[in-house]
Structure 1
Amino acid sequence: MGALASAALLFPLLSSGPAATAEEPPDPRALQRAFAAAAERYGVPERVLLAVSYLQSRWDGHGGAPSVSGGYGPMHLTDLRSALAGAQHHADADEDARGDESRPVRVAAEPAGLPEPAELPARLRTLERAAALSGLSPDELRTSAAANIQGGAALLAAAQRESGRPPSADPADWFGAVARFSGADDTATATTYANDVFDVLRTGERRTTDSGQTVELAPAPEVTPDPAQAAALGLRTADRGPSECPPTVACEWIPAPYEEFGDGDYGNHDKADRPVSQKIEYIVVHDTEATWDVTLRLVQDPAYVSWQYSLRSSDGHIAQHLPLKDVGWHAGNWYVNAKSVGLEHEGFLTAPDSWYTEAMYRTSARLVRYLAARYDIPLDRQHVLGHDNVPGTTAATIRGMHTDPGPYWDWAHYFRLLGRPFTPSAGPDAGVVTIRPQYAAHQPVYTGCAKAGEACAPHGSGAVRLHTAPSDAAPLVKDVGLRPGGQDSTTGVNDTGARASTGQQYAVAERRGDWTAIWYLGQKAWFRNPVERPTAVNARGLLLTPRAGLAEVPVYGRAYPEAAAYPAGVPVQSVSPLPYKLLAGQRYVVGDRTPGEYYFAPTFDTTGHRVVRGQEEYYEIQFGHRVAFVKAADVRVFAG
């Protein structure tokens, strides 16, 4: 009864119900006081409660909407009813995940159904337990930030009791409870989660939440918990096997199958010898469009497709499925597949409020830093790609390419965690801009999340929309690859035809007042970029343009060798231009220069596999929302 009364006192301050008035402005410190009240009631050190909540949600409430694993509110209390969701993105559209014309098209079949709610693990049902411990109703725990924090504190206090340790005012005594709170079922993941919480606690944090609340956790560098507390919880030991992960994450080996079916077909990846055979140049970020358990079931299906790593939302746990030397079928472009590592994050593109947890962002960033250092991959947006940045291989495949992780993935925060924040590197007259809207405040309208043409829930976005003129009323720019008939692009959440994403760099075509134009898909594209609230920062970089005497040059979705480079027994792969043109006078930001390469691997028997390299060289460019390639002989490169 006391818990109900305490939550009721805070509820009017933090719920999304009452609108603020000029006479009664919202109290920006109410959330901070809610943490203090919950900590006092349940005997949990306030620092611990704040640090746990930060790792769960960065103290955001997300308007009462659930995360990708069904977690609600600042404490990410999980409710099984929202954990069951959606279709699997590798099974939709017509994308061949291999993207190699030398083999039959591999479009994955629909997977088996989702598990029943009762089959879900306890980590997806913490809201139920919080309700029982606190006396608060499930609805309160979902909709009231103050109640949600009370529920989280109750769970932490129970975890401390279950760990066999008495209540304590010393945060260091709560390492085991925090590890148990994670919901992880293995010691390594629980320990990694608790280490992250205590890293936040030691370094401190301060931010303004999505509801305008200011929350602060003062640094406490002197706190030194004993990780052995997690080891005493009696959790399972995950099989690391031959997994390739940094020591700062919890990694488990769950291998994808390499099996023959008959009739020359096999799955679900290719054997290789990277980086000896080919350099690994890209990291591709995906979202799973499936829950964790379904994701693992799919990647272990030999008739399905494959990727190197999966990352769990609730605690950041990582599963590796392929040796990094082997090639996964994940990007829909064989050239990119052969030279990339694929990371699948538990999530749903078209559910904007199905947010990604801080725990998953952090472990993903540590994994990417490890891969970048191991393979000398630059940490920029021409090498760390979203699946939605991978180009179609030919004109016919453009419309089938996937669009995850979509406009709601927070690239700015991700790159801060990578240690490469997007900052200005040039003055106001720079010839290059890096897209960087303020994620939380930047909320363009998207449509089609739940129903075609229907507006999606308002949410922060890292993408800007591109118009044909410096006006919000001007039509969006066209993408002739997506719409050969010449129709305008749309505001659809899966329509990448008029979208530039955080971290992507483009050559400036013109500046006019609050608007900036860039060269994009062979045309001038305008986005709103006011001085008082900029959506891009100025930068320097190498640019290219058609060499003298050429009115236009073709653009490609892969950098394949010239016909003369193919040895006997290896079919020549077509070098097919995409339906775009790079026109004289236009400029695009340059990425790598690379010789044409093709990995010939059409059979289960690896004896005949070959890497073909040509003399023809290509430049990668940021051409539209997706990257593209042009022949080096066709262009001139200069500093921008």
Structure 2
Amino acid sequence: MNPFTRRNALRALAAGTAGLTVTTPGRALAGTAGGARQRAFAAAAEEFAVPEPVLLAVSYLKSRWDYNAGTPSTGAGFGPMHLTDLRTVAGGGSHHDKGAEDPRGDTARTPLTVRAPEAAAAVPSLQTVDLAAELTHATPESLRTDPVQNIRGGAAVLAHYQRELRIDSSDPADWYGAVARYSGASDSTAAAFFADEVFGTISGGASRITDDGQAVRLDARPGVQPRRTQLRSLDLPAGQRGGVEAPTELSAEWIPAPYQEIEGGYGNHDKAERPRGQRITHIVIHDTECTYDAAIGLVQDPTYLAWHYTLRSTDGHIAQHVLTKDVGWHAGNWYVNAKSIGVEHEGFAAQGTWYTEAVYRTSAKLVRYLADRFGIPLDRDHILGHDNVPGTTPDTVAGMHWDPGPYWDWAHYFELMGAPLKSWATRATGLVTINPDFAANRPAFTGCESAGTACTLRGSSAVVLRSEPRVDAPLLPDPGLHPGGSPSTMDISDVGSRVSAGQRYAVAEVRGDWTAIWFLGQVGWFHNPASAPAAQPALGQVVTPKPGVTSIPVYGRAYPEAGAYPEGITPQELVPLQHSLLAGQKYVAGPTLPSEYYWATTFDASKHVVVRGETRYVQIQFGHRAAFVKLDDVVLGLP
């Protein structure tokens, strides 16, 4: 089977087995099914007369049965059952935290000033921890932090919803309405999507080891046919799709961002004719750094900025704001903005919160749909985190945002998209794909709640690089983030010495359990023992400087040469970043891209111009962020 056929087969498999979780080969189960977490589900199901498969599947769609160290999700939910308590979670944020980037990233225009959103008021229907406390007589604190009490609370809430529907049945099929209500959705389409995913999980079964080492299993029940007509009893309004560009089975609505003239200019995105005018080559994954409601308020402000989609954490509901043909102001790099779609997820990367399974699933379906529609490969060269987008020029590098952060589970996300982070390579190739065990990989970051304080240890996609092959060696320096040569830090926002799952790098050296890769013009070491590998062999091409050249410049954008600009449009200066690609170094080659600049500085979209040059660029995995080198400066080849 060729790679393209295999990729399509994997996508079809993922779409048809959304309820299944397959244990990664080589990563053996650490616990035993029937342990404490499994017994807690069984006991709570019996105590509150909830069918055990329903309780297990609801929990899976909220948290994948994880404890998450008793910390809140991005939707203010706690524990395996995601009991919500908005009072204890910050509702404001700064969109985005610890970053000063201009989201438009176009030096032909005055930088945007980004204001902080106001905190959203708590919604009573999303305060399920209060209802659970009333039903179980447990304290809110224990319901948030004790997984056994949390599971009891979730079971009690489900049973309460079932009683309100006046349905007395032990048949899982008769619990569709209660499950839909547990989603917390505000419309029937979102509630139905959540309930359908829950019953898909019941049908297909699931098993995994949780983040705290608990083996949990849900045996497949393919014969369960849920009573979907119960949804009408919830009296939820129908979802309003409008002209949303999303799979029809997803809960989605059109909440437009205003394109209008304002004092001193216009906002809050640019009209375009993509892909006819420019190919869409990337999708950028963000988190909002504020609540869903606050983000919706911001994107409707013509003086603010706009992105294409926002996803709600509780149920994965989608709001689209900008048509995919148009250009959003979201990534802080105008070249990337002009070539990408921006997808925001309700969340707080700096606060160490976790993302719900509902939002992972909805996002994966949306991104797979967009990738198929626009011919975008499903890999980390094309599906970027905001933290992978390069600064445009040396002076913008330090202010670039770093969401969705090191707690976004890239490996799980790509599995849901049907493009798992696997490799055809069976032995050392000179390249590696970073792919740590998310649950077991727990870097000791700081600054989640306040500067310098230790973050709660939790699973992470990030692997930290050292300057030498030992655990106490300093981190690598990054002159873009730390001028003067000081080493990077373990602050949650500092990506100067950090790699992430799915990214590929060229191997510089191997010493025992340590692997060195080329990173920002230097060698970075990470612990990579065979017993617990943080990376796997990868396939691909690398770039090296052409023979006889000691170094070549690295750029943050792939703009045309000056001669390509028509009269009346000032050429954008080709300013290299702080780093250089030196002779003898290798970096993994991503796509070869045309040089383009989208001149869109006027409200009248008929005057917008796509400037195309003769120069071609290669996107490379240079550091944590991508970068661009001119094709004429490098040699493309095998490692």
Partners of 1:267 and 1:320 in 2: how far apart? 17
Matched residues in 2 for 1:109 and 1:233: separation? Answer: 38
Q: CA deviation at 1:551?
A: 1.1
The letter for the 2-side match of 1:161 is: R
Q: 2:65 touches 2:210 (CA, 8 Å); kept in 1?
A: yes
Aligned residue number for residue 360 of structure 2: 361
Match of 1:138 among 137, 140, 156: 140
Counterpart position of 1:276: 276
Q: Which moved more, 1:374-383 or 1:419-428?
A: 419-428
Query: Do the aligned partners of 2:508 and 2:518 also contact (CA within 8 Å) in 1?
Result: yes
Q: Distance in 1 between matches of 2:48 and 2:627?
A: 56
Deviation at 1:107, TM superposition (A): 2.3
CA separation of 1:231/1:590 partners in 2, compared to 1, >3 Å: closer, same or farther? farther
List aligned pairs for 1:274-313, cutoff 5 A.
274-313=274-313
The alpha-carbon distance between structure 1 residues 92 and 30, as it changes in their structure 2 partners (threshold 3 A), is: closer
Task: Tell whether the 8 Å contact from 2:211 to 2:459 is kept in structure 1 after alignment.
Answer: no
Report if aligned partners of 2:180, 2:192 keep a CA contact under 8 Å in 1.
yes
Task: Compare 447-456 and 618-627 and name the one that shifted more.
Answer: 447-456
**What SS class does the counterpart of residue 543 from structure 2 fall into?**
strand
Q: Closer, same or farther in 2 for the Cα pair 1:418/1:486, shift >3 Å?
A: same
Match of 2:155 among 137, 153, 156: 153
* Aligned ranges 1:504-583 → 2 under 5 Å: 504-583=503-582
CA contact 2:507–2:517 (8 Å) conserved in 1: yes
> Which residue, out of 60, 65, 77, partners 2:66?
60
Q: Return the offset for 1:92.
A: 5.5
Aligned residue identity for 1:141: L
Q: In structure 2, what residue type is equivalent to 1:225? A: P
Q: Are 1:78 and 1:123, in contact at CA under 8 Å, matched by a contact in 2? A: no
Deviations 1:189-246 (A, max 9, x none): 0000001101111111111112222111001111121323223421012221111111
Equivalent AA in structure 2 for residue 250 of structure 1: S
Per-residue CA distance 1:574-593 (angstroms, 9 max, x = gap): 11111111111111111111
Task: Within 5 Å, give how 1:429-444 maps onto structure 2.
Answer: 429-444=428-443
CA deviations 1:368-393 (Å, max 9, x no partner) are 10010000100000111000000000
SS in 2 for 1:341: strand
Corresponding position: 1:494 with 2:493: yes
Structure 2 unaligned regions, length at least 5? 1-30
What stretches of structure 1 of length at least 5 have no aligned partner? 1-24
2:252 aligned partner: 251
Q: CA deviation at 1:143?
A: 2.3
Give the counterpart of 2:111 among 105, 108, 111: 105
Distance (whole Å) between structure 2 residues aligned to residue 221 and residue 471 of structure 1: 50
Mapped to 2, the partners of 1:145 and 1:167 lie a distance apart of 27
CA distance in 1, matches of 2:86, 2:586: 50
Question: Which region of structure 1 is more displaced relative to structure 2, 469-478 or 572-581?
Answer: 469-478
Match of 2:99 among 69, 72, 93: 93
Corresponding residue for residue 39 of structure 2: 33
Is this contact kept in 2: 1:248–1:366, CA < 8 A? no
The offset of 1:469, in angstroms, is: 1.5
The worse-fitting range, judged by mean Cα deviation, of 545-554 and 328-337 is 545-554
Distance (Å, rounded) in 2 between the aligned partners of 1:143 and 1:404? 26
Structure 2 residue aligned with 1:121: 123
Contact 1:94 1:107 in 2 (8 A): no
Instruction: Say whether 1:386 aligns with 2:385.
Output: yes
**Deviations for 1:144-170, whole angstroms, at most 9, x for unmatched residues?**
222211211111112222234x22222
8 Å Cα contact 1:97/1:107 also seen in 2: no
Kindly indicate whether the alpha-carbon contact (under 8 Å) linking 1:91 and 1:110 is maintained by their aligned counterparts in 2.
Answer: no
Q: 1: distance between equivalents of 2:428 and 2:48?
A: 56
Say whether the 8 Å CA contact 1:69–1:124 is kept in structure 2.
no
Secondary structure (helix, strand or coil) at the match of 2:579 reads strand
- What is the total number of aligned residue pairs between the two structures? 609
The offset of 1:434, in angstroms, is: 0.3
2:511 is aligned with what amino acid?
R
TM-score w.r.t. length of structure 2: 0.93
SS in 2 for 1:415: helix
Q: How many angstroms does 1:123 deviate by? A: 3.9
Paired residue type of 2:51: P
Equivalent residue, structure 1, for 2:325: 325
Q: Write the letter of the residue equivalent to 2:137.
A: G
Deviates more, 1:600-609 or 1:143-152: 143-152
* Residue 230 of structure 1: aligned partner: 231
Single out whichever of 60-69 and 250-259 deviates more from structure 2.
60-69
Counterpart CA distance in 2 for 1:496 and 1:357 is 24
Separation in structure 1 between the aligned mates of residue 589 and residue 512 of structure 2, nearest angstrom: 27
Amino acid at match of 1:442: N
Query: SS at 1:506's partner residue?
Result: strand
Q: Tell me which residue corresponds to 1:597.
A: 596
Determine the structure 2 residue equivalent to 1:198: 199
RMSD: 1.5
Measured in 2, the distance between the counterparts of 1:516 and 1:575 equals 34
Once the two structures are superposed, residues 479-499 of structure 1 have per-residue CA deviations (whole angstroms, 9 ceiling, x without a partner) of 122223111111111111100
C-alpha contact (below 8 Å) 2:64/2:80 kept by paired residues:
yes
The alpha-carbon distance between structure 1 residues 309 and 558, as it changes in their structure 2 partners (threshold 3 A), is: same
Cα distance in 1 between the residues matched to 2:228 and 2:32: 41
Which AA in structure 2 matches 1:239? Answer: Q
Alignment TM-score, normalising by the size of structure 1: 0.93
Q: Name 2:24's counterpart in structure 1.
A: none
State how far apart, in whole Å, the 1-side matches of 2:358 and 2:102 are.
32
Deviates more, 1:268-277 or 1:232-241: 232-241
Deviation at 1:621, TM superposition (A): 0.5
Question: Counterpart amino acid of 1:636?
Answer: V
1:47 and 1:570 map into 2 onto residues whose CA distance is 63
Query: Would the aligned equivalents of 2:69 and 2:458 in 1 still touch at CA under 8 Å?
Result: no
Amino acid across the alignment from 2:88: S
Q: Which amino acid aligns with 2:104?
A: R
Q: Does the Cα contact within 8 Å between 1:44 and 1:167 map onto a contact in 2?
A: no
After superposition, give the CA deviation of every residue in 1:41-93 in whole Å (9 maximum; x if it has no partner): 22211100100011011111122222122211111111121233452224753
